[in-house]
Amino acid sequence: MLRSPSQPGDDTTSPIKGLIGAGAAMREVYAMTRKVAASNASVLLVGETGTGKELVAKAIHQLSPRGSGPFVRVNCGALSESLLESELFGHVRGSFTGAIANRTGRFEAAHTGTIFLDEINSTTPKLQVKLLRVLQEREFERVGDTETIRVDTRVIAASNRELLDEVAKEHFREDLYYRLNVVPIYLPPLRARREDIPALLSHFLELYNEANDRYVVHLQKEALEALAKYHWPGNVRELQNVVERCVVMATGDEITIDLLPPAMRGDRPTVSLPGRGGDLDSLARDLVEQGMSTAAPDDENLFERVVSRVERELISQMLAACDGVQLKAAARLGINRNTLRKKLLEHGLEEE
């Protein structure tokens, strides 16, 4: 990404290469990033999907004394427990079916550098125990091996959920949380930093004009106002996708309001779902009513069951509407593809 104009007289809060935004919320992120980069402390990045957690993790690494070492990223939400354990810690030949050779894990690969554990909230209790040991002792064993390996690796973790809530639900170990949360950095959603939208638009226009050999350099006033008012549930990543779409679809050198998705134009689209003959509101109401009618008076898990049922049906119907194309379904649902894959496994919808 491009460097935004620096803030005069305050180097600690001036923009960092790779990050865009000069508003108060981002200046606080810049200050925290610079301050923590000089240390070896573990960092926990918290923010909604699409707020740029990986970019901040890279900035911390590049500004740190470890900047010349490796930066290794692992998406903990994209792999099953067994695959993730092997990915993180490596394995030896014959340790499981398919392990035809020794393999170095990501922690070893990140020795003298930084490992970025994205979606750390997705890890299982078994893996959390092993992660806690690495953070405390800086050592581990490969899967299927007894030899202890020591590493000098800095850990930066990220979560799109509040980990304290996960601790309260007993989905995340409290001791691991405090080991990771030495220095927390909260990344603001785009709706909390609307003053940065023009700079982001300018950057993405330049990026996608060059990528597509186009010359879309103007923004219609109505289009800019609509973008400024939109609530951006997908944050910067959603803005990026919208700009790419507009650059590709524009017939001239201007982004006009008709190129924006209906929700950004102020319309409330009705999403018709196959086999239901209704919209999402009707679907949700039907499922809630069914759940209420079959619930026992003392059912303590009613909320979780109904929410899970609504989520499963919505994903199933959206996949059908998108002809089984997961990337398209994830985009329409406002989630990333890795999250969708995890949900498919949770609800037994892999075949769909």
pLDDT tens digits along 229-275:
898 988 999 999 999 999 999 999 999 999 998 888 875 444 444 44
Residue 172 scores a pLDDT above 90: yes
Q: What is the pLDDT at residue 52? A: 93
Q: What is the pLDDT at residue 294? A: 54
The CATH homologous superfamily of the domain defined by 11-188: P-loop containing nucleotide triphosphate hydrolases (3.40.50.300)
Domain with residues 191-265, CATH architecture: Orthogonal Bundle (1.10)
Question: What are the pLDDT digits (tens) for 270-307?
Answer: 444 444 444 555 556 665 665 555 555 555 666 777 77
Query: Whole-structure pTM over 0.75, yes or no?
Result: no
Domain ranges of the chain: 11-188, 191-265, 280-346
103: which strand partners? 91
The CATH homologous superfamily of the domain defined by 280-346: Homeodomain-like (1.10.10.60)
Residue 64 scores a pLDDT above 80: yes
- Cβ neighbourhood burial of 86 (10 Å; 0-12, 13-18, 19+): buried
Residue given tokens 């017939």 in the structure block = 251
H-assigned helices in 101-214: 106-109, 125-137, 163-168, 174-180, 197-212
What tokens were used for 73? Answer: 């990223």
Percentage, residues of the chain above pLDDT 90: 52
Max CA pair span of the chain: 65
Torsion sign (Cα): 43, 105, 160, 25: positive
Question: What are the pLDDT digits (tens) for 122-159?
Answer: 999 999 999 999 999 999 888 888 889 999 999 999 99
Number of H helices, E strands in the chain: 14, 9
